[in-house]
Structure formats: structure tokens, C-alpha cells
A and B are shown apart, each in its own frame.
Chain A
Amino acid sequence: MFKWPWSQKFAPSKHPGDEHLLAFVDGELSGSRAERVRKHLDACWPCRTRKQKIDLAIARFVEADQQFLLGKEPPGGWRGFEARLRQADSDLALASSGVRWFRLQPALKVAFGVVLVVAVIVAGTVWVATQKPAVSEADAPAVLRKPKAKPAEAPAQPAPEAVRPKIPPEVPASEPTQAMIVEKAVEIEFALHQTGACLGGEGRVIIARNGLRVVLVPATAERTARLNAALATVDRPAWAAVEFPVASEALRLQRAMLPPANAVPDRVELAAPPAESVLREYLKNHPEHREPPNADTEAAAANLSNTVVTQASAAVREAWALRRLAQDYGARELPVNAAPKLQAMAHDHACAIREYVERAGATISLVFGQPRPPVTASAGPWPQTVQQIFRSAEDLEARVGLLFAGDASSVPADVARRLAEDPQTAAREMLALVAHIIGHLDAMSPP
């Protein structure tokens, strides 16, 4: 009788076990074994379904991993490495001078380990002690004084409430619920957001176990006044403390609040921005696009370059602020009043990013004569989408900096050379990035 050719493939002994299938998925099988599994999967629905579940499990794990890593940049910004190298140099010099350093080392390690452990306990105890009351009774009056400072002098007072003290001294001892804290945090964030504090790393709301801290690092005295005015519009209970850190601490915090600078070790030096000649050629033939209209080609080209670079940088700052929101609030269940505010803030940042990259993309497309690739929306959990937007915005900024400003400090050497030698391809890649970012923005939906 006629034997169906695929009956053999359904023989139970041919189904790959879990480990075998996973090894196949991970590319750990040799060529012939992998080929056998691939052929089996072509024919076997149950095994193909198992493989799909493995893929899904991996995707969920990666998601959880990325969520965990989100926003956890090294707090010290990698400072101190040079100092460690110098210390190692002097240790090595000591060793080579004949001191029995290496013999001592194990004992020293133990001693160091003990000191470290003690330091951890001490640090932990100190941290716990500072966390317990967000604001103690004695501190409340001092915190109150700051917002009261200026509203009396302001000429146009929108409402008399701005002047009233925020907290009656006899605050009940009951602790706020997490929902109350989150709601208040979002309310304060929203107030600060209106002043653009999130973009300059000037304000950060830190949620703790039993309260919250608002850390403000304003750039100027005028900004201090504006931030205080914004805070004055929000009811602040005793457990919502405001801090203006001292100068040295402020600098460290501000650096931690801003997008990191991504420098590469071996940067390429460019004689001129690779896009310069393309820009000039374009503006020579299209004088109607010169800005200002009576500018000569060189000046107009420089202006246009500046504009694109500024747009790319602004997009990164907005993406950074958006990502911080996702990091701080993305994993939380939001109280009813907080969700619309969070959505509004996220929407503001998203719109700003979209506008900046859209404009930059339009300029690049025009000048290089490259079509805009279609936008493909791809949905995903909010924190992941936002992380991708941020990384793409950074990538775009680095490329724009290279092409329009001749700044290769954030681009690896081989990539820099490739882009510099072929600006048309560079333009295509930037436009693809723009489409990518816009696609993610369109698909994004905050909680």
C-alpha cells in the first residue's frame, strides 16, 4: 500500500526532548543535529508549539530582565577607577621593592572584608535611620518656610491659597498608605513638569516606604523661585519633604538625574562634518530654504546643522524624562487621580519627542533626497517601549552629531568611518531610526 512519506516523522522517538529543543533554539546544536530538529519541527505541530512556548518564555524572561535593569545606571558614574589604578600602581611598586606584600595579602583581604561588612551594616543602619520619618516634627516648620518666601511679593497672584501654610503642626501620627504617597508624588511631579524641571534634571521625586522626598537642584535663583512657586500649588503633608541639597551633593545628584554622556575610547577625528557639502549643495540650489533668507550658503548650512543637532539633543532630553517616569511609576498600580496626570506628562514628552525627530527627519530627507521610510508601530509594555525610544534617540543624536557637527565622540570608530565615508547611507539609517522612534511613540500607551 502507499506509505505516506511523513509518517516516520511522527514516530515518538523522534520528538526532541526539552533540553534538546532549547539547545536548538539557542543555536547550541551541531549542524546536522540542528538540521534534523528543524526538519522535525517543519512537520510536527505539537513540537512546534512547544518551541513557540519556549520562545515566549524567553521573551517574558528578557522582558522581566530589562524591566529590572531599567534606570539602574551605576550611581557613581564610574568615577574612581583612575584612583584605583593609581593605588594599584603604588601597591605594585611596594611589592617590587621587596616588601612581602603578597604574603600579607590574604590576611589583609580578611581584614578588609571585615571592615567592608561592618561598613555595610553601618551604612544600612544609617540609611534605615534616615528613612524612618520623612520629616520629623522639629523639621516641619523649616520646610514650611521656603514656599512662603516669595508669593507675597508676586504682583499677580492667581489665588490667595498660594500664601497659606501647607501643614498644620498637629499632623496625626498615622502613616500614609502607599497609594497616598504615589498619588502625591505624581501630583508634585506634575507641578514640576509644568516648569520643565524634568528636562534639566532640576527636580526629582523619590518615593520611600513611608513618605516621599522632593529633591530640587535648580540652576539659578530664578529657577528656585519658579520651582517653589510650582510646589506651592500642591498640598504638602508632613511626610512629603522638600530638599535643596548642598552644592557638592547637588552636583552629584544632578549628574545622576541627567542623561549620561556616552563617550567611546577611540574616537575618529573628522576634518569637516560629512553632511556639510551635501547641505551646501542643497542650499545653493534651493535658496528658498535658507534660514535666514538672505544668508549666504555657508551661514545657512551652519544654521541648518545647528538646528538638526539641537532637535536631536532635545529629543534625547525628552526621552530621558519620559523614561524616568516609566522607571519610577511604570511598575506601580496608580491611584485613580494619579493616572491622568501621569498620562498627561508622558503625552507631553512623547509629543515633544515626536515633533523633534519628525522635524529632524524632514530636514534630513529633504537635504539628502532620501524618502521617509514607512512607520511600523510595534506595541509592547510601556517601560520597554520607552527604553527603546530612549536608546534610539541617543543613537540618532550620536549620528546627527557626527554628520552635522563632525562630532564623533559618541560613535565607535569603525561606525564613524563608515558613516563619514557614505553620508547617503548614513542619512538612510538616520531616517530609519526616526521611523523606528515614531513607530514606538505611536504604539506607546502608558498605564
Chain B
Amino acid sequence: MNAGLATAGQADLGRADPRQTTSSAIREEVTSLFVALREQVYRQTLRVVRIPAEAEDITQEAFLRLYVHRRKGARIENPRAWLIQIAYNLAIDRIRAARGVTLMGEESARFAWVEDSSPVLDDVLVEQEKRRSVHRALEELSPQERRCMDLRVAGLRYREIAAVLGVRISTVQTNLARAIRKIVAKLDV
């Protein structure tokens, strides 16, 4: 549904004058954006929080914040980037909040929340997956390296990744290159 990105991005928000726009017009605008962009934002959030229900909740929250922002008269140049940024921040906040309670100091990048109706991978199966080289390599990635890779696979440019993470572009480059190196090292070529 990438056609939605072009039409539902600049054009809709650009021509709207915040002072004149009625709340119903803003609502229509945000609802359009929601339908066009929610899958993208959802997938990116899912990569971070790993739990579908949480990712869905965070995605909706991000669009809600967009709505409130617009209702208060703000103009947003690039809604897609804005939403991904907000959703990412919300995801990190949610993880930090949960960590303190459920993991009790565990530093692993896997978050020990329980999933709802999807099959739970037993330890045996996790071991099986680990034997697949790429998964072993992914476990070795630092959280920062993994974040950069997740944002990159979502289609963000280096500059955008740097903006979301609040780091320099060179940091993004270094992290991506390191992550790739780790995966290459584990490739069974």
C-alpha cells in the first residue's frame, strides 16, 4: 500500500491551514494516514517490542498523538518519519517500564513477556533456531546494532535512522557495518 505514502504524506498536511482546519477534517486526515501507514509503523514497532498486541497498541497510540498534535495546530512535514520516531520512543519506554518489573535485572535483548495465542517456542525449538547461523549471529548483536538493522530493514535511510535513535550518522554506519560483519562471520558459505 505504498501508494498511500505519497498521497497521504505531504499533500494532505501541506495544504491544510491549521487555523482553518476543522477537527473533522483533521480526523479524516489522520484516519487516512492511519490506514495508509499503520502496517509500516506496526511492523517496525513489532521488531522492537516483539509482541503483536503491544505493537498494535503502541501504533495506535502514535497515530493518536499525531491527531492531538494536529488538533493543537502543529504542522508535520513528514508524518511517516514522525510516526516512526514516536512509535519507537513509545516502544522503548514500554520496554523499560516492563523490564523493571518482569525481568529483574536481566540484560538480554529478548523480552520475557508472554505471548497470547501464538505458539510458544519451547527451549528445544529455540536451540534449534540458534543452530541456524543467522540467529546465532543476531544474538551477538548489541541492542544498538540490532536497532540500526531493524530500522534499516524497515527502509529508513541512514540519516533517518540517526534521527530516530538520536545519534550521528557515522554511528549508524559503524553499527550497521559491525552487525553485517557479525552475520558474515557466521554465514556458512
Using a CB–CB cutoff of 8 Å, the interface residues on chain A facing chain B are: 18-19, 22-23, 26, 28, 53-54, 56-58, 60-65, 68-69, 71-76, 78, 80-81, 84-85, 88-89, 92, 113, 116-117, 120-121, 124, 127-128, 131, 178, 206-209, 256, 262-266, 328, 331-333, 412-415
Contacts and interface: CB of A to CB of B under 8 A. Distances in A.
Contact of A74 (B52, B68, B153, B177): B52
A110 to B, nearest CB: 11
A281 B124 CA distance: 61
Contacts of B61: 84
Contacts of A207: 119-120
B122 A178 contact: yes
Contacts of A84: 60-61, 64
B125 A265 contact: no
Interface in B37-66: 38, 42-43, 46-47, 52-53, 55-56, 59-61, 63-64
7 contacts: A53-B189, A56-B189, A63-B134, A72-B118, A75-B117, A76-B56, A78-B34
Report, nearest first, the 5 A-B pairs whose CB atoms are least far apart.
Answer: A74-B56, A412-B3, A57-B183, A60-B134, A19-B177
B113 to A, nearest CB: 7
Task: Please report whether the interface of chain A is mostly helix, strand, loop or mixed according to DSSP.
Answer: helix
Contacts of A178: 122, 124-125
Contacts, number: 157
Interface string B135-175: 10010000000000110110001100000000000000110
B98 to A, nearest CB: 6
Contacts of A208: 119-120
A262 B39 CA distance: 11
Interface of B: 1, 3-4, 7-8, 23, 27, 30-32, 34-36, 38, 42-43, 46-47, 52-53, 55-56, 59-61, 63-64, 67-68, 71-72, 97-98, 100-102, 113-114, 116-122, 124-125, 128-129, 133-135, 138, 149-150, 152-153, 157-158, 173-174, 176-177, 180-181, 183-184, 187, 189
Contacts of A209: 120, 122
A69 B43 contact: yes
A23 B63 CA distance: 32
A60 B67 contact: no
Contacts of A85: 27, 30-31, 64, 67
A54 B179 CA distance: 10
A61 B7 contact: no
